[in-house]
Structure 1
Amino acid sequence: MTPIATSSETGANRFEMLVQSVTDYAIYMLDIDGKVASWNAGAQRFKGYTQDEILGAHFSRFYTDEDRAAGMPARALRTAEDEGRFVAEGWRVRKDGTHFWASVVIDPIREADGTLIGFAKVTRDLTERRIADEALRRSEERFRLLVQSVTDYAIYMLDLDGRIVSWNAGAERFKGYAADEIIGQHFSRFYTDEDRAAGLPRRALELATNAGRFEAEGWRVRQDGTRFWANVVIDPVRDPAGTLIGFAKITRDLTERRQSQLALEQAQEAFYQSQKMEAIGKLTGGVAHDFNNLLAAIVGSLDLARRKMADGGDISRFIDNAMKAAERGATLTQRMLAFARKQELKLETVDPVALVRGMADLLQRTIGGGVRIDTQFPLLVDHVHADPAQLELVLLNLAVNARDAMPDGGRIVIAAREEQVAPGTGLKPGAYVCLSVADTGQGMAPETLARATEPFYTTKGVGKGTGLGLSMVQGFAEQCGGKLTLRSHAGKGTTAELWLPVSQEVATEAQADAGPAEAPIPGHQLVVLAVDDDALVLTNTAAMLEEGGHRVLQATSGRAALKLLSENRVDLLVTDFAMPEMNGAQLAEAAQTGWPGLPVLLVSGYAELPAGAAADLPKLAKPFRQDQLLRCVAFTVAASSPGGEVVKFPERRRW
């Protein structure tokens, strides 16, 4: 009969089966002398001994020679017996002599009465973990050495409150603190008093936390109180769970670079100033030459007119000559304003062929008799988008340049053609009209052609030109949405091409010849207060108004004008803009505050006024003729009446 196993025997068998099935741990028994009394599959797997080979052997054979010589096995059993457990990690030896890193636990086994009968020993092979930990340790050590070796950057850690928890050699080098002096201190001590008062250190940590990074440049303070210019980066440091545990801070001393940059900027500013003074010198010489020529014509013509008038002779041709010279002075001013981009363009639809034909007489008179002017136009040319008055000025300028290139005479050809422009040509794709002015003159060398459109560059000699002509043409073309191109060869002449976009609007008839609409002249005499700080201009303005049938009061300042307004009934205020103490816009505001509804006409020599300067007032640009002044007076008065509409007159004479 098969014997029946007791419950205690069954439990013991199950326990043995459990221990024998474990392969990741060596679980075995030692007797009180340290000899192996049991052996499981896990022990056999990573120690290499079978049960028959190891039972009865002393467990010290698993230790290294060094540990056995140091008495480590005996101390382990003694510790387990005395303290109830022995726990350690260390190198152990397999059957084949190879070493593995083991975690060892030894527990004493006692009878119910406390008598020691042996030991339970559990060993785990942690070699892979040991290798990984060692690799991590070496990596961390290399990183620590790397950070510590950096001397050009301060690299250190902050805790959540901003206190310093690490310090490298770079931080010590240019901040001046040794590690034992600064660790535990708040990083705000590196900031200036002004930055601390403004809360910059706190905001830096907040930005790093919320935005993931803080970067800035500014002044920081060394231990000795001196300042240095620093680039600062602060990054948040988080654990694997994403919890913020501190900040990494990197600071670089950029003081030398900043000083070099400031020195470079100062040198550049000095260079630009030198260039500006040189440009002003060239501009002054050219403008002085041109204006002296014009003044010579005006003064000479008026002098001759005065002499002829005394003899009762005809002075009309001298007056006409003086007027032409004055108009050319206005043209020169427009050229300079166009170069400075201060001449506001009035873009509209223009018939280029009609415009050129309309200015034929002017071109021929200006060019003189030694040069022939021909035109070559197709039967139909589309209208362009441009400012007609400025376009006339541009063509006149190109024609004058062409004439100057032919001192012995020659031929100028003004032509037009239509082109479809493709992408990649420097122009917006679409339809363009190319107006060209070609001459048979001296042409330009490549180095001259390359600089032809530079401001202030001229080949006419010192004091014989402003050097703004082609620069002005180029600026005009670009403002219209086109461009200027030049083709030239020494001895073979020059061709200037003005590319202008075709207008998408329908041109009005007789556009090139259309003048400003006539305004109704008031049927009664007006009392006009004329104000200008220039006595010559004021005298002329008053004379023009009086010749137009009006009574004129004159003032040379805003204060004097307000006094006259308080003493007289005035129908209209005509005031210059640029005056000392109180300009025209300020005078207009004061006058209309004290005398609501008073019409005001603002006169200015500027092409455009500062933003917001009497934007709702009618304006008249200097220089002006009597008919322009009287027409603007009429419009201003009409606009101020009930139902009237304010009209602005920033116009200049069209050729």
Structure 2
Amino acid sequence: MTKRPHDSQPLAGNASTPDAGGPDLPLAADTLYRTLVEAVQDYAIFTLDEGGHVSSWNKGAARIKGYRREEILGKHFSHFYTPDAVARRWPDAELKAAAELGRFEDEGWRVRKDGSRFWANVIITALRDADGRLIGFGKVTRDLTEQRRAAEALRQSEESLRLLVEGVKDYALFMLDPGGHIVSWNSGASYIKGYRRDEIIGRHFSLFYPQEDIAAGKPARHLDLARRAGRIEDEGWRVRKDGSLFWANVTLTAVYDDSRALRGFAKVTRDMSERRRREELERSSQRLNEFLATLSHELRNPLAPVRSALTAMRLAPGDGALANQSLALIERQVTHLSRLVDDLLDIGRITSGRIELRTAPVELDEILALAIEGARPALDAKSQRVDVQGAPGTIRMDADKTRLVQVLQNLVLNASKFSPPGTVVTIATAVQNRTLEIRVTDQGRGISPHALDDIFQLFVQESRPGTDVQGGLGIGLSLCRSLVELHGGTIAASSAGPGLGSTFTVRLPLPAARRSDDAHHAALPAAGQDKADLQVQRILLVDDNRDAADSLAMLLEMCGHEVTIAYDGSEALHVAPRCRPHIALIDLAMPGMDGFEVVRAMRGVAGTEATRFVALTGFGQPTDRQQTEAAGFDAHLVKPVELETLFSTIARLRQPG
């Protein structure tokens, strides 16, 4: 009958027991070792026989597990395990693993004598004699309950913080890497800026800035200021995904790690458009008394000549020439009065939130023609003309035609009013990305620098009310700005100074599907060009974004190319042998099979031996280009792809040699 471990000397206390197959310890060293093990109280250190029964027990084991030496020796170590662990025979599995591997480490719940549980780190080491025969196990257990509790508290705190950030809807909270690329995105950012997380991560934050700010280097300057000062705050116009603009309060904070290395930037953006509008209205109300005085002056001015004309007609009822002259005067003054009243009513609707836009597809040419026609009497009266400049072609937009005509007519009338007779009012139009820019420039008296920021305020005029020979209520430009902002755009004034004329610039977002005839024809072959000269290619277009794929395919086909579309990687592999493409345009970020997997798999597909592969991606850093080159792509194009760049790439890749 085999002797039970508690009937023999404990392993840790037997001076002749080999130490894991090593030589016998001298008596003094063995005593020192046993004293050391016995004195340790932060670790439970004990041994098991081959079957898992406890054969030695130190003070640390008694303190952590609650058993005295005499009541635990000889008992199976599964006493320390939870019932579910025992039920799935986990203790036996641990011993088996330790015996096979020499050592086994685990973390999990263990049970004290009083039934309470603690989180333990456990190391089991197989003990062997000089001949390599298994003679038992050494077991070291450490109570990590407090550490786990702290880690769990930290995890819950971080999770709570994450949920808090994610749940905030009134603020856009997101992180940038040191280069300004977006690495995180909360629901508030999606709500305010319009981008989903999957379509914005990795893109540069400068796409939120208007074109003029990008041209002036404002995004890079903000990063540099935040890096040097630690934090900056800014207010200004920002751009949503749909091209509309909003007034934003932005805080940019540099984030450093413990070694003071820059990890990136935390960015907080709040849409302050409503607050800005309210503040302006509050400032406007402070000028109400001044406005009422101006209104009285402006209403009395046309009424006085009307009364005089009526009196003259009454005194000379038979004078036909006088009657015609008086009627013309009355008509001009009534028209002026009507315009004043209309402006007042529109401002009232806007300030009370009752104005609604009736948007519909409309062409810019029509809006300009109607605006100039409405201003024609004032222009003709001063022998002025309008010069319209802009690239040929039709610019289509979604807008309230009546309101935009009103805006541009006001700007032309304003330019006429403050310019000398015989001068030219210039209207210049341009399109940058998805923004329409309209500039109305006059040769008039100009605007002083201190007045540029205030002229769009309600009831503000550069001259003191009642002293300006040109008259006016000071609400026309404020009305223009309100109507432009309701369309998601902006309006700004510039002037080189008094006497040097003025320019008013209106910027309006264009719909994503807008296509200028000019840009359209630029992408197509010239009229009469032989399709044979185009070197028609068979093109396989792989993109999971159906709208992007369909629209690009349409343009390629209009240029004479034969295009096959695949909306995912698997479909691309299926159709490639049939279409035998000269060029494969492959989106990189696709679900399931990404672009890198597609190009690797397509190398072995029949019919693609001569195919040239082009990566389409939103990432354009040098490392991204190196990655696509290493994957076997022949070219790397960054979305959105300029058509000229795309066509030149196709032509280059298909050149002989």
Give TM class, smaller chain. Answer: 0.3 to 0.5
Q: TM-score, normalised on structure 1?
A: 0.40
Structure number, greater radius of gyration:
1
Q: TM-score, normalised on structure 2?
A: 0.40
